[in-house]
Amino acid sequence: MEKLWNRLSRLGIADEISAYERKSLIILNQLALLLIPMAITMGSVLFFVFKIYVIGIGLWINASMAFLILWLNAVGKSHISRILFSVVPVLTFAIGSPLAKMFGTSRSVVFYIAPRIGLIIMCLVPLFLFGFRRDWRLVLSMALPISCFLLFDYIHVWFGIDWRTFPMRYEEYPAIIFATSGLLVFIIFSTLFIQKINADYEKQVLKQGEEIALEKQKSENLLHNILPEEVAQELKEKGSATPKHYELITVLFTDFKGFTNIAEKISPTEVIENLNTCFLAFDNICDKYGLEKIKTIGDSYMCAGGLPVANTTNPVDVVLAGLEMQDFMTRWIAEKQARGQEVWELRLGIHSGEAVAGVVGKNKFAYDIWGDTVNLASRMESSGEVGKVNISGTTYALIKDKFVCTFRGKIQAKNKGEVEMYFVEKSLL
Task: Write down the domain spans for the chain.
Answer: 2-215, 240-427
The residue-averaged pLDDT of 377-388 equals 91
Tens of pLDDT, residue by residue over 361-377, are 666 677 889 999 999 99
Residue 137's φ and ψ, nearest 5 degrees, are -65, -35
Q: How is domain 240-427 classified at the CATH fold level?
A: Alpha-Beta Plaits (3.30.70)
Tens of pLDDT, residue by residue over 273-319, are 888 999 999 999 999 999 999 888 888 999 999 988 889 999 999 99
How far from 305 is each of 286, 323, 370, 382, CA to CA, in Å? 9, 15, 14, 20
Q: Is the pLDDT of residue 97 over 60?
A: no
pLDDT class of 258 with cuts at 50, 70, 90? confident
Which 3-state string (H, E, C) describes 42-81? HHHHHHHHCCCHHHHHHHHHHHHHHHHHHHHHHCCCHHHH
Report which secondary-structure segment, H or E, holds 396. helix 393-399
Tens of pLDDT, residue by residue over 18-67, are 666 777 788 778 878 877 888 788 778 878 887 767 667 777 887 888 89
Q: What is the pTM (predicted TM-score) of this model?
A: 0.54
R_g of the chain, CA atoms, integer Å: 41
Residue 307's φ and ψ, nearest 5 degrees, are -155, 160
The residue-averaged pLDDT of 60-80 equals 85
